Amino acid sequence: MIKVSVIIPHYKGRAILQACLQSLTASTFLEKEILLVDNGTIDDSLEMVTKEFPHVRILQNEKNLGFAGGCNRGIYAAHGEYLLFLNNDTIHDPGWIEPLVEWLDTHPETASVMPKILSYSRRDWFDYSGAAGGLLDYYGYPFARGRLLDYIEQDHGQYNNPIEIFWSSGTAFMMRKKALEESGVFDETFFAHMEEIDLHWRLHLLNWKAFCIPASIIWHHSGWTLPPNSYRKKYLNHRNNLIMLLANYSYLSLLWIIPARFLLDVMSGGFALLQGDFKRIGALVAAYFWLLIHIPYLVKKHQKHQSLRRVSDAKIHRIMFKYPIPLTVYLFRKKRYSDLKLS
């Protein structure tokens, strides 16, 4: 019986993939299948998988479809009741899958759950990509329990309680297939970055919930695919974040959100100029230019998302932070999740 389908998009990195699959093989949860989605691998990874992990099902794409496209290919081929999306640069506690399955089994209102994500290189520190639960402010800036922008906390067990969150990290999260059938799959225009937040916003529009379950633990080699200072990474983050904002808010909310967000982006560009971060400035300008030349796509996406709406923006705001996280961190010097007043 297959309860969980593990979907791993892969492009390169023989050694990291090998470590990931070895870790998954040691998992104590047996009712699973593993689907490796090849995004046009450029090394000998697939030969290694065929030889050392014959139980892994390989799905081959002709070109690199990114995280979004790779996950979608896995979704269409999966047999499990629950879908576990997983980065190839992770290793895991042997019993990490069971707490996620148990939560979904006993909380029918929950669409998505994620583990506590720690750093591969500093094992007792949170990882940048999701930490102990993904959150969002009103203006679309993501952060997490244990990570506010670039400030990352050491794990002392301070966030070991399950908590409702806004988004589960694409690094590793389990989703109810039924919820995915309602929300639709990942938007492949995103290619990579923010696609999981966009998906979770749709889930909130449908009145589903997401939780972090810290009894489940993994370790992540953050920044393996695209380095943190990569122009492409900055560009995709800015562009996709704006697409997500425009698609998921109602037109009425956008009347005040967009002017405020534009002002915040101008401030961000000014700060980047003072730092000499011309990659960030270029990424910001390119992101807004992309929006201007893709208005039909934006209108269509907005209409599609709003057609799913069962709850108001006001209700969704209850699990969002009302102040801009960049100002909260850099102007008011809040560096820890526990410093924030969320109510």
In order along the chain (343 residues), what is the average pLDDT of each group of 10 residues? Answer: 96 94 97 96 91 96 92 97 97 98 98 98 95 98 96 97 98 98 97 96 98 98 71 95 98 98 96 92 97 98 98 97 95 91 67
Q: What span, in angstroms and rounded, lies between the C-alpha atoms of 198 and 87?
A: 18
Q: How far is CA 232 from CA 167, 193, 261, in A?
A: 23, 10, 21
Residue 223: the pLDDT is 64
Q: What span, in angstroms and rounded, lies between the C-alpha atoms of 37 and 51?
A: 17
User: Degrees (nearest 5) of the Cα angle 266, 269, 271?
Assistant: 110
Here the tokens at position 57 are 């099902």
8 A C-beta contact, residue 208 and residue 201: no
Residue 33: the pLDDT is 98
- Reported as type and span, the H/E element at residue 228 is none
Residue 222: the pLDDT is 78
* φ, ψ of residue 84 in degrees (nearest 5): -110, 105
Residue 170: the pLDDT is 96
What torsion, rounded to 10 degrees, do the Cα atoms 210, 212, 217, 223 define? Answer: 70
Residue 343: the pLDDT is 53
Q: What span, in angstroms and rounded, lies between the C-alpha atoms of 22 and 121?
A: 18
Q: Fill in the amino acid letter for 50.
A: T
| Structural domains of the chain, with CATH | 4-220 (3.90.550.10), 231-339 (no CATH)
- According to DSSP, the residues that pair with 86 across neighbouring strands are 172
Residue 23: the pLDDT is 97
8 A C-beta contact, residue 301 and residue 256: no
Q: Could you tell me whether strands 151-152 and 147-148 are parallel, antiparallel, or unpaired per DSSP bridges?
A: antiparallel
The count of residues in the chain is: 343
Please report how many Cα atoms fall inside a 13 Å half-sphere around the Cα of residue 286, on the Cβ side. 15
Residue 266: the pLDDT is 96
